[in-house]
Structure 1
């Protein structure tokens, strides 16, 4: 009894100390690196940037997919199909074939295959996520060629996320039960460190989900899926100012899917990275270099139709390198931050099909893309910031006797003015350059049976897409607004992106009897606005995020099928019991897309209500409850063919050792 009383008193004293300390602290803003590579606070960045942390998402969302993760980012949506957990990311109406540069630990995810869903997918496990950094628009071409839509950069967990400052060994185990599936999940992490010289993390996730039900209570067939993922990441510091990071990530999925023909599908997405940083006490040197290899293999065995037992495989391997250095110096009253770097990646596509034409519709081939850039971030006093950049791109692709190549210089100029400290206005002009994908250039053959949808023709003369993006906005950062240590943050932006030589699949009458071909359709023009903000007073908080994009083919005046309807999401939350309990409600509204039927999609508007609660039972034990689609609304997300899940409750328990 005496020991128990002593422990209780000690715990109470620690809680009081922590509470007293918390009253004197102010929440730090998250950092975006995709905006300028050097890292800056999100609400200081002169771009449409957002950062979500895994900790925040696990507390208020319990994401089970990439769609769940990105649903809160303005003007960002995803496209999925059936039970396939792979997702195509759409930013401001642009997606597929590298228009959005998706990175995992700095490694490009370039998998694509021709089909009825997204023509550019990647596979990821939300349990492995430390954070995701999103920059919208072609303002971050320093992160590689092709990103005319934007950049989405995922960072995975490391040992520091598990171990306390004084710990050398630790771990975490988490269990989740999802009622709509049903879907049990178990996730575990183990981490160790040796002083400051070395640390390592190993993590794994096992999830088995059944077919979910929609808002009408009907089972949606072929939505069951199994997940087995693993991550190993080590950081080595052989000497002061030197750090080496090694990581290996595998995402393995198994599911059944298909339209006219049903397939048993297994996917393995592997990402291997090796990075080096040198950060001496020098204004000239701050060097980062990374090499990576990613491979996504999709294996499908036919379960129905004419070719039962037939096997087809799709595999893309991407090898890449990325290096840059940032120097800081002054010229008179101007402070400079100059970043110089280069990157290269090589895609190797291999497709096999024992019976059908998939090897022609997703053709084998090779594509190499390289680039170099220089960027100067200039600051004058505390009220003026100018970012100027220039990027050079080169590409070459080959396959099926076709070769294509091209080069271009793409400029960027951004100016930000802070007339008074809490408010910054900015304007930007940036160009982006996307080389044609292998599929777009080399596709050839007939649509596989049982559907006879015509022939597909290659286009050896396909030209790259060139984006011309103008945008402006305002960043607002207020502290101590209504109470001590509260915060108000807001970003509002408008944009207009003109894409010359936009590539789209169209019907062509020649050669007779005609067929489908990827062609440059003159211009695609996309414009819109977006906003996101948060107010946090400690005991309560609220946030808002939303955006609207409109786009059309400037040649014909017709709309673009890749443009999703407008969306807005608002969250109100409360904290109690010395902030150990957090609960709230989120409302999401999606507008109607009137021309959706013209493209074969559902475009009805809808509103969803989610509730969430997170309770820190002990400092290292957290229980959570998230109820999504509280009112069991029947809806289909635009660009998807199947209805989305109805009411779903997720209960979780996480224990750290």
Structure 2
């Protein structure tokens, strides 16, 4: 039940000449009393609402629809202690939570339907996803959960995709909708179409969505053009769910997105003021980004065993990026991923967890425990057309992995336990997590960067640690 607090303010206005000159004390007081104007009493009545969790924020389906954001990062920019970092270009935005950014040693972890997404290319955004596909976004701030593991020091952003039941009206079995939009700033055009089917008496639940965004360069408030900030993004979602009716529910989700546009190599960079047109053009790349996500979930709530409530998540995420520089850039330095480059991230994830509620006369325990397997693979390659490198065998004639972004694989196996202990309005959450990490590098194609004597070591390394909060 909400409570009301009443504050009463009495405002006193004193005339500017009230203290003019140097009269004695009594004369001052008389003068002040004459010049005082008593304003009407103001009563302020506020409703005291239930306190929210300061360590978390949530965007609902209706809030997402209202914001009409052009990216997930832009969507999150309105949440407390959460901000957008980078530029408005496609793939040029990252998320900052309480000062920790998702490009700085992966301080912010990104999840889609509980499955992690990883993309760590230097000066690039970390997320390629159409906000039209989301029904809610939960932001956990800080390293307060043992279920997040590596990369979640700043927090975690968990995005949940839409289901048919989120769109079906009461009594409706089949539905569909189309949506279009236009932004005058960058002439953005939005086209979205969705069909869905299912109801409470039907075990099947299916949803299919296709969304297209196309835009030109943005303009800032002062009229300056944000060069090469256009986009041409096409995405799709297909989701099927089935309820077996005996406590078992499964769902299969596939999301794919593609953007092809000309951007600066460092997509997070700013306006590039002061550059001549031809010089700025040489700093750009034609970038093609393909992002696919496949997620299988199985949830089981036992009708007879009170403590058995399992959740199984299996996912495979595949993100590819291909950059091609203008031909006239060939005579310049081959740094910053060369004249042409290929980046490929593959993430395989499996998690099995159980949730158990134990209530006593004094305390309530909300237990979550389980195991995780995460394998991330990074493949990189670049074509360096500097004349001296093309002729040199030490540089494999210009085709090699960037020394600052080598190829490799990381495998993490984890066990976690978390207990939310509640007593009246007080909740504490002790947790424990064990991680075993194995890193395996890939030798560089260029002998110049594959020399053990120079410290180039691509051998397997493993680490183990126990953490608690």
Q: What is the TM-score with the length of structure 1 in the denominator?
A: 0.53
Q: 91, 107, 111: which one pairs with 1:99?
A: 107
Counterpart in 2 of 1:51? 58
Q: Which residue, out of 343, 359, 362, partners 1:314?
A: 343
Measured in 2, the distance between the counterparts of 1:384 and 1:88 equals 34
One of 182, 193, 200 as aligned partner of 1:177: 182
Query: 2:145, 2:418 within 8 Å by CA — same for their partners in 1?
Result: no
Aligned match of 2:366: 337
Contact map agreement 2:372 2:415 (CA 8 A) in 1: yes
1:73 aligns with 2:79: yes
| Match of residue 159 from structure 1 | 164
Work out the CA distance in 2 between the residues paired with 1:335 and 1:82.
Answer: 45
Asked if 1:145 is matched to 2:150, the reply is: yes
Partner of 1:274: 296
More strand by proportion, 1 or 2? 1
Post-superposition Cα deviations, 1:106-131, rounded to whole Å, max 9, x if no partner, equal 121111112xx25x611111111111
Using the TM superposition, give the Cα deviation of residue 392 of structure 1 relative to its aligned residue in structure 2, in angstroms.
1.0
Question: Which residue number corresponds to residue 110 of structure 1?
Answer: 118
Q: Give SS of 2:165's match.
A: helix
Q: Aligned match of 1:135 in 110, 116, 140?
A: 140
Partner of 1:369: 412
Q: Does 1:186 align with 2:191?
A: yes
In the other structure, the counterpart of 1:649 is none
Q: Would the aligned equivalents of 1:82 and 1:258 in 2 still touch at CA under 8 Å?
A: no
Structure 2 unaligned regions, length at least 5: 3-48, 266-281, 332-337, 385-397, 444-457
> Residue 396 of structure 1 aligns with which residue?
438
SS in 1 for 2:219: coil
Provide closer, same or farther for how the CA distance between residues 139 and 157 of structure 1 changes in structure 2, counting only shifts above 3 A: same
* Cα distance, 1:161 vs structure 2: 1.7
Asked if the contact 2:91–2:126 (Cα under 8 Å) also holds between the matched residues in 1, the reply is no
Question: What is the deviation of 1:43?
Answer: 6.2
Is the contact between residue 176 and residue 185 of structure 1 (CA under 8 Å) also seen in structure 2? yes
Q: Which residue of 2 aligns with 1:203?
A: 209
Residue by residue over 1:162-194, the C-alpha shift from the partner in whole angstroms, topping out at 9 and shown as x without a partner, is 211311110111110110110111111100126
Q: Which residue of 1 aligns with 2:462?
A: 405
Whole-Å Cα distance in 2 between the matches of residues 373 and 261 of structure 1?
46
* SS in structure 2 of the partner of residue 407 of structure 1: strand
Partner of 1:293: 316
CA contact (8 A) 1:144 1:343 kept: no
Residues 271-299 of structure 1, C-alpha deviations (whole Å, 9 max, x = no match): 10000000123421111010000011001
* Cα root mean square deviation, aligned: 2.3
C-alpha distance in 1 between matches for 2:210 and 2:78 = 26
Contact 2:286–2:325 (8 Å) recurs in 1: yes
CA–CA separation in structure 2 for the residues paired with 1:64 and 1:324: 34
Deviation, 1:53, is 1.7
Q: State how far apart, in whole Å, the 1-side matches of 2:360 and 2:65 are.
A: 46
Q: State how many pairs are aligned.
A: 367
Residue-by-residue CA offset, 1:127-174 (whole Å, 9 max, x unaligned): 111110001100023133321110001111110122113111101111
- Does the 8 A contact of 1:263 with 1:304 survive in 2? no
Distance 1:297 1:374 in 2: 35
4+ residue stretches of structure 1 with deviation over 4 A?
42-47
Is 1:87 aligned to residue 87 of structure 2? no
Distance in 1 (alpha carbons) for counterparts of 2:263 and 2:61: 29
The answer to whether the 8 Å contact 1:336/1:376 transfers is yes
Counterpart of 2:62 in 1: which secondary structure? helix
Q: When the two structures are superposed, what TM-score results if normalisation uses the length of structure 2?
A: 0.74
Q: Distance in 2 between matches of 1:83 and 1:378?
A: 44
- Of the two, which has the highest radius of gyration? 2
Task: Give the structure, 1 or 2, with the largest relative contact order (CA under 8 Å, sep 6 or more).
Answer: 1
- 1:263 equivalent to 2:263? Answer no
Contact 1:47–1:139 (Cα < 8 Å) also in 2: no
Q: Distance in 1 between matches of 2:425 and 2:99?
A: 33
User: Does the 8 A contact of 1:310 with 1:354 survive in 2?
Assistant: yes
String of CA shifts for 1:626-654, please: whole Å, max 9, x gaps.
Answer: xxxxxxxxxxxxxxxxxxxxxxxxxxxxx
Q: For the residues of structure 1 that align with 2:81 and 2:251, how far apart are their CA atoms?
A: 33
1:349 and 2:382 are equivalent in the alignment = no
**C-alpha separation in 2, matches of 1:300 and 1:316:** 15
Alpha-carbon distance in 1 for matches of 2:253, 2:50: 30
Q: Are 1:219 and 2:242 counterparts?
A: no
How far apart, in 2, do the equivalents of 1:290 and 1:302 lie? 39
CA shift in 2, pair 1:403/1:239, >3 Å: same
SS of the equivalent of 1:402 reads coil
Q: Deviations over 1:589-633 (max 9, x none)?
A: xxxxxxxxxxxxxxxxxxxxxxxxxxxxxxxxxxxxxxxxxxxxx
1:454-505 superposed Cα distances (whole Å, 9 cap, x missing partner): xxxxxxxxxxxxxxxxxxxxxxxxxxxxxxxxxxxxxxxxxxxxxxxxxxxx
* Matched residue SS, 1:51: strand
Inter-partner Cα distance in structure 1 for 2:258 and 2:50: 36
1:239 to 234, 239, 245: 245
Distance in 2, matches of 1:411 and 1:43, equals: 29
Q: Secondary structure at the match of 1:142?
A: coil
- 8 Å contact 1:145–1:369 — kept in the other structure? no
Alpha-carbon separation, structure 1, partners of 2:213 and 2:221: 23
